[in-house]
Amino acid sequence: MWENFTFPNMKQLSYNLLQKGTHGADINKYFDYGIMSLIFINIGALILESIPEFQQQYSLLFQAIEYFSIIIFTLEYVMRIYIADMTHPASNNWKSAFLFIFSFYGMVDLLSILPFYLPLIIPIDSAP
């Protein structure tokens, strides 16, 4: 019964999840909707957080949204580097990763998560 069952490798699954195309993966559509929804939730949270009453009352919710989002966006970025040899073919995996990271979408993805990680790498004292 199971002898004909083949499970695609993790790289192919990641590719099917992240990349648009005609590879027949409905999960890609749902993943895209999820990412777009998360972006809109973040925009809404950012707008509401700028109102002092909301910021004070819902600060824990806004922080939870931020942490959840940064985890999801970081995982997506790492997965895109992982499949870079499939999306940005080059002579080796390092060059493929380099091509993705410095592509337009790679830079957009990096710039979306970098503001969260930068203060962890470079301590910034904002006290006067």
For the cut 50, the answer to whether the pLDDT of residue 62 exceeds it is yes
Number of domains in the chain: 1
- The per-residue pLDDT for 22 is 52
Q: For tokens 């819902």, what's the residue?
A: 58
From residue 58, how far is each of 41, 46, 63 by CA, in Å?
Answer: 14, 12, 9
DSSP state of 83: T
Could you tell me if residue 7 is inside a domain? no
How much of the chain exceeds pLDDT 90, in percent? Answer: 65
Residue 114: inside a domain = yes
Instruction: State the Rg of the chain over Cα.
Output: 19
Q: Which of 24-28, 63-67, 94-98 has the lowest mean pLDDT?
A: 24-28
In-domain check, residue 4: no
How confident is the model at residue 14, as a pLDDT? Answer: 83
Is 19 within the bounds of a domain?
no
Q: Which domain holds residue 92?
A: 26-121
pTM equals: 0.82
Q: Which residue has the higher pLDDT, 38 or 5?
A: 38
Q: Is 17 domain-assigned?
A: no
pLDDT at 1: 46
Mean pLDDT of the chain: 87
Q: Answer whether residue 64 is part of any domain.
A: yes
Please identify which residue in the block is written with the tokens 């409905």: 26
Number of neighbouring beta carbons within 10 Å of residue 42: 18
In a domain, 67, yes or no: yes
Highest mean pLDDT among 2-6, 15-19, 124-128: 15-19
In a domain, 16, yes or no: no
Geometric angle at alpha carbon 29, from 26 and 82, rounded to 5°: 90
